[in-house]
């Protein structure tokens, strides 16, 4: 059912949050710290048994220089020839990891170099992962990661994960320079659904080299509204936390302002494709519109009136492919 704002109000809605004054400095310092660790990207062929797609096991330094795993999938040389490929860096939804090497073949099959980042500390909910969240974070938390270190922006989980996402883009672009993969560094897009969509928007906001964005039903947007209009998880983890840590609400809400993509996207300029399900109780429609309406670059929005968090499903994927083909021209 429809439970959020009516359509005319959604179209104009820009959110209920505001950026802290030191947002740019916070992220500049965070990324400068991460870049103190050399961007040494390990690329190892993986014996997948596939004939039309090559798979590589990738490791790159993320937040704190900690090793982050990823899969790199390429069209087989017999298919792609010798030219450079446009790249897509994909981020995964909440609870998932990079999965099996033989999953997620869509983008390589369509002619893209496809880097799928593992998600630190997740990967046991619906898709497997193996990258630990090694960085310490003090204080109590509700199971999941939404409240891990949430009492301080410096220790909050998403400071580490968003940094990983930016470093994944940098790692992908570096593959051309190293000769490790035939990636065109000028044609690297970011994409994801739900948490992955939120990470794509954050990476595009913090990494101006991103050439295009696909953010399907993006999560991590307009926290204050999400916490009060939906009872669904993962946002509910924060509600559960505050129901016990009753005096921490102001502190928690201040932390979240640094990671709210509705605050970050005014810095993003790459062409972007969004999607929203108007019956979605996981990422409320108004929170998606907050990100969309604040996004600074050229943008398109696919609206699915009768869908929940799955939004357009395969139709979103098909639209995303057409969108990136339009941005990048001939793939190979």
The strand ranges marked E within 50-164 are: 53-61, 67-75, 85-91, 113-117
| Active site annotation includes 32 | no
Rounded Cα gap, residues 322 and 315, in angstroms: 11
Within a 10 A sphere around the Cβ of 191, how many other Cβ atoms? 26
- Can 309 be counted among the known catalytic residues? yes
Among residues 125, 106, 96, which one has the least CA distance to residue 199?
Answer: 96
* Residue-wise burial string across 71-108, b where 16 or more C-beta atoms lie within 10 A, e elsewhere: bbbbbeeeebeeebbbbbbbbbbbbbbbbebeebbbbb
d(CA 299, CA 35): 30
Beta-carbon contacts of 72 under 8 Å, excluding residues fewer than 6 positions away, are 43, 55, 56, 57, 58, 113, 114, 115, 175, 181
| Helix, coil or strand: residue 159 | helix
Structure tokens given for 236: 């509910």
Which of 127, 194, 205, 275 is the catalytic position?
194
Residue 75 bridge partners (DSSP): 53
In sequence order, which residues have a C-beta less than 8 Å from that of residue 305 and are 6 or more positions away?
Answer: 278, 279
CB atoms < 10 A from the CB of 128, how many?
Answer: 15
| Tokens 């390990």 found at | 42
For residue 162 the two structure tokens come to: 């968003």
Rounded to an integer, what distance in angstroms lies between the CA atom of residue 8 and that of residue 108?
39
Catalytic option among 48, 152, 184, 309: 309
Candidates 4, 118, 260, 280; catalytic one: 280
Q: Hey, which residues are catalytic here?
A: 194, 280, 309
């Amino acid at each position: 059912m429809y439970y959020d704002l009516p359509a005319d109000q959604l179209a104009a809605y820009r959110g209920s949050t505001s950026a802290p004054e030191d947002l740019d400095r916070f992220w500049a310092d965070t990324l400068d710290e991460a870049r103190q660790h050399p961007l040494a990207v390990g690329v190892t062929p993986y014996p997948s048994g596939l004939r039309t797609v090559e798979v590589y096991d990738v490791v790159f330094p993320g937040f704190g220089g900690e090793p982050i795993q990823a899969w790199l999938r390429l069209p087989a040389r017999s298919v792609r020839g010798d030219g450079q490929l446009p790249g897509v860096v994909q981020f995964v939804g909440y609870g998932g990891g990079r999965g099996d090497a033989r999953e997620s073949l869509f983008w390589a099959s369509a002619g893209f170099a496809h880097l799928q980042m593992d998600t630190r500390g997740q990967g046991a909910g619906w898709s497997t992962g193996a990258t630990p969240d090694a960085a310490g974070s003090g204080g109590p938390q509700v199971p999941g990661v939404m409240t891990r270190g949430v009492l301080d922006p410096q220790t909050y989980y998403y400071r580490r994960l968003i940094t990983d996402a930016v470093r994944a883009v940098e790692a992908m672009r570096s593959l051309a320079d190293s000769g490790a993969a035939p990636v065109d560094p000028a044609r690297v897009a970011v994409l994801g659904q739900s948490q992955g969509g939120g990470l794509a928007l954050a990476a595009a906001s913090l990494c101006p080299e991103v050439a295009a964005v696909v953010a399907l039903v993006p999560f991590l947007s307009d926290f204050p509204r999400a916490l009060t209009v939906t009872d669904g998880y993962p946002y509910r983890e924060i509600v559960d936390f505050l129901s016990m840590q009753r005096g921490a609400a102001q502190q928690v809400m201040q932390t979240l302002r640094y990671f709210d993509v509705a605050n970050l996207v005014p810095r993003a300029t790459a062409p972007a494709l969004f999607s929203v399900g108007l019956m979605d109780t996981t990422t409320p429609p108004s929170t998606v519109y907050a990100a969309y309406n604040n996004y600074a670059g050229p943008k398109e929005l696919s609206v699915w009136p009768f869908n929940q968090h799955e939004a357009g499903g395969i139709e979103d994927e098909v639209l995303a492919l057409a969108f990136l083909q339009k941005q990048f021209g001939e793939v190979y």
